[in-house]
Structure 1
Amino acid sequence: MLRSLLNLCLVGIICVTATTIPIEKNGLDMNISFKLPKIQMPKFQGPKLPTKVSPPELVYAGNSEVLDLENPYSYQFYIRSTKPQELTYDSDNPLVLEIIQDSQIIRTLTTSEFVQTVPEDQNSIEDQAAYQLDLSQQKLGLPDGKYVFHIYGTARELKGIEPLALNITYSTISPYLPATNTAGKGKMGVTMFFSDSQNPQQLVPVTRFVPSSNAPLRATIDQTKKGSDILGFQSPIPSVSKIQIRQGTAILHLGSDLERFNQDPALGNAAVKSFVNALTAIPGVDKVKFLVNGRESDNIFGGMSTRVPLGADINPRIYLGLNLNQNRVLLAPVSLNDQNMVYENIFHGLRTGEIGGQKITGLMAPIPQKVNLINHTLAGDQLTLNLSKEFTSVYSDRPDLQKMMVDAIVYSYTSIIGVNNVQILVEGQSIDTLGDMNLTGSIKKPLYINPEVQQ
């Protein structure tokens, strides 16, 4: 063993020595040496710490996180700073609006063309500088269509800051037929609920005036089953062969045309909502129950059981505008699940079309954004809303849209349990008229919403 170890050491010494032995090239002197590569040992870098990102000193912002706007009016634009700033302007044009369509700038507007009010001191920012903009279609003179607005400041210190980008849609608002309390001699109003073709889960109430009947439930179901050729709505419900009333519950015996409603959960859900919303609005009906061939079922309307009667949604609702086929504006209710600050949240939804932090696709805000809710008071069952002075000047050339705005307010706030009357004040004062409406007293919810035809 010892001899083997000595031999291995000797071989190692010979190999190392040979790397420096000069070798003759064809008998000539030539030195070839071999060097071992230098091994780089990895350095210990320690745990990777998160990179701290500092906020920019100057940014642009709007009065809402919603950047997709339909038919906007007044808009708040801010230049915000994380520390006091002095701004240097080379002209009297502090803001610029670029209007972009199909990736091309089609117009560039200066301050006087779209800004309503400016800060008292535009050259100094402590926290933010607020500008009130008029982005109404009438002010900007733009045709219906989709646009991108880029808004930015011209101060030297703002160079390089990304402009505020807004996605704007302008669409001419169609006529609105106001809600009414009058059905006409010998007639009654039947309120039906139809699905919007663009959003099947959005139900739209429509009132049809038919000859008076002692069977309002049957009349409501039969009229809903017909759909509406005038407004282009298809029937959202299957046929009902028999109707019974027991202790406030309407029992509907469904017919044989259930197959497509069972196979498509969206259609089934819309049918259930249509039945429940329409029938529970009739005095004496609190709930709706279904039977199939006179029996209970655990699998109708896409998996629903018939064993538990269904009541109406008791959450408050915000009534937004549906510009139906660019032909008629109808009020459409959207449920408000958040009960915190319900009065403020309803008004926010009415003026932005945003509910629960989400813009409701396909529906428009009935109140222009420049109208503000100053405060509100509740006395008994009467809610008083004190609004800003802009309320009296909006839709000045469209009395029908002024009625839409008032109807949306009244229907929305009377959907709160315990509120039966709404009074509207402007800067603390009652107003005699808005268009041809007298708003000096309190307003009750009209009986008939969205008349199918003008009475």
Structure 2
Amino acid sequence: MKIFSNILIIALIGLFSSTYLFNLSPIDYRGTIEIETPVEESALRLTTEKQELLNPESITIKHESENEEVLKSVADSIFTVSVYKGNVPVKENIKNLELVSPSSNMTISIDSANPMVTTLDISQKKLGLEDGTYNFVFSSNLIASKENESVSVNVTYDTAGTYFPASKAAQSGKKGLTLYFATPNADTLIPVTRFVVEDKSLTRMAIEQLQNGPESGSLRTVIGDVTNTTYNNGNVVIDIPSSYESYNNGSTGGLLSYEAFKKTIFSVKRYWPIYSLSFTVDRKSVDSYFHGIDNVTSLPYAKNNYVLYMSYKVDGRYYLFDYKIDTQQAGISETDAPELKAQKMFDAYKDTDIPYGINPIPESVILKSAAMQGTTLVLDFTDSLMNAYNGKNDLRQMMIDSFSYTFTTIPGISSIRITVEGEALKNYVEGIDLTGILYAPEFINPENTTQTNN
């Protein structure tokens, strides 16, 4: 047995020491094994210094990373830009805005101390955009991460717009009559306060001033012939002649005339009690007039609630005007607490889409909370408010005036106070103290801007 074992061992030694080739397997396993080298996750991101821009010619955007990274581009444009107004796209997938065109085979190394800096032309002329506030979204084709590939900036184009603040008091020796004039396209009515010397019945003076028309070359009056205006113990009767057919022809003209009469007369309430307004035609009562408006014989005064004060630009000037919101669409219920109503009213600024109106509140402004202190509504904003309309005192005042008018149309709110991150609003509008309680100014859009008293 031992002899047999020795023979077997010798045979095996001979076999493995021979030059005979063996193919142990027809399979090449090298192609089935993947060797991974750990790669540090990219930290590449976009940054820009400002989130709010006013009339910019260009914007500088940086590609930054804490790690050392090599960027490669095979395109002739680094950024793709989309422009939105509210949530509505205005222009999409805009390319080739770089002031220096990148190479289509560009390679660049960046690290924490050496970002890649790109300047893009976003001038109003280059993009062909109208005046207004837009949200720009800049997307980089050098970043794979969806989370970090884009950055957004709010841009306001205001070529020649100036806002003249509302006035708290009338000019010395005069009364302020708020008159309602139509926009150039008859979109809406713009309130304009004219200061006049009282020399007759204020209601009659208000109608006469409406007939005289605005000082602005583009606004226009929709009030023509009026036979008589009488005031009797708070009840006003306006008699109009049937021969003046413009009041009753066309739904738009008829409605604007009716609203101009009504709003102008009811604004006299700051001086005289006004309980109702009636219309007669050729000194006779009518069931309806102004192209189908009913109940024109006795229109009671009623406070206009839930009104947004939007802005309108004409002849290089911004005017605030009232726009009654659809409370159902805004989700406002009478059972809501005033704080909740205020939040919904603020949201309505951004959700209200009217082609002729401009939202006076930049998209980036965020209302953090609302709270009641007696009948004063405290509006606390994030520090985004401090960046709004940077360098434009008049537009900042327009926003504050809009807040004062808008939120005091919520029942139970008589005034507002504005804070930022819980702190009083200081040094926001040059020369104006905004740290205390703010009431809606009495005289909106003063016509004579050289003699207003704030």
State whether TM-score is above 0.5.
yes
Q: Share of identical aligned residues, percent?
A: 24
**Aligned residue number for residue 182 of structure 2:** 195
- Preserved CA contact (<8 Å) 1:432 1:438: yes
Residue of 178, 184, 207 corresponding to 1:221:
207
Matched, 1:250 2:240: no
Please give the TM-score of this superposition, normalised by the length of structure 1.
0.64
Deviation at 1:440, TM superposition (A): 1.5
Match of 1:367, SS?
coil
Matched, 1:345 2:314: no
Match of 1:107, SS?
coil
Deviation at 1:337, TM superposition (A): 2.5
**Aligned residue number for residue 333 of structure 1:** 322
Please give the TM-score of this superposition, normalised by the length of structure 2.
0.64
Cα deviations by residue, 1:182-237 (Å, 9 ceiling, x for unpaired): 32222111100111122x24111001111134521111111111111334322112
Match of 2:297, SS?
coil
State how far apart, in whole Å, the 1-side matches of 2:359 and 2:345 are.
Answer: 11
Matched, 1:447 2:433: no
Deviation at 1:181, TM superposition (A): 1.9
**1:378–1:213 distance in 2 versus 1, CA, 3 Å:** farther
**1:453–1:414 distance in 2 versus 1, CA, 3 Å:** same
Deviation at 1:419, TM superposition (A): 1.6
**1:310–1:302 distance in 2 versus 1, CA, 3 Å:** farther
User: What letter is aligned with 1:394?
Assistant: A
Deviation at 1:268, TM superposition (A): 0.7
Matched, 1:369 2:371: no
**1:219–1:105 distance in 2 versus 1, CA, 3 Å:** same
What are the within-5 Å matches in structure 2 for residues 1-400 of structure 1?
Answer: 91=71, 96-98=79-81, 105-108=95-98, 140-143=122-125, 145-146=128-129, 151-152=138-139, 154=141, 155-156=143-144, 170-172=157-159, 174-198=161-185, 200-213=186-199, 215-283=201-269, 284-305=273-294, 306-312=296-302, 314-325=304-315, 327-338=316-327, 339-340=332-333, 341-350=340-349, 352=350, 354-355=351-352, 359-400=353-394
Deviation at 1:261, TM superposition (A): 1.9
User: What letter is aligned with 1:234?
Assistant: R
State how far apart, in whole Å, the 1-side matches of 2:392 and 2:137 are.
Answer: 29
- Preserved CA contact (<8 Å) 2:97 2:122: no
Residue of 407, 413, 416 corresponding to 1:419:
413
State how far apart, in whole Å, the 2-side matches of 1:423 and 1:313 are.
Answer: 22
- Preserved CA contact (<8 Å) 1:96 1:109: no
User: What letter is aligned with 2:436?
Assistant: G
- Preserved CA contact (<8 Å) 1:99 1:107: no
State how far apart, in whole Å, the 2-side matches of 1:248 and 1:181 are.
Answer: 24
State how far apart, in whole Å, the 1-side matches of 2:199 and 2:371 are.
Answer: 40
Deviation at 1:274, TM superposition (A): 0.9
Unaligned segments of structure 2, at least 5 residues:
1-53, 57-68, 84-90, 101-119, 334-339
Match of 2:129, SS?
strand
State how far apart, in whole Å, the 2-side matches of 1:387 and 1:165 are.
Answer: 20
Aligned residue pairs total 331
**1:167–1:230 distance in 2 versus 1, CA, 3 Å:** same
Deviation at 1:304, TM superposition (A): 2.5
User: What letter is aligned with 2:306?
Assistant: P
Deviation at 1:389, TM superposition (A): 1.2
**1:165–1:372 distance in 2 versus 1, CA, 3 Å:** closer
More RCO (CA 8 Å, sep 6+): 2
Unaligned segments of structure 1, at least 5 residues:
1-69, 73-88, 111-136
**1:348–1:103 distance in 2 versus 1, CA, 3 Å:** closer
State how far apart, in whole Å, the 1-side matches of 2:160 and 2:368 are.
Answer: 27
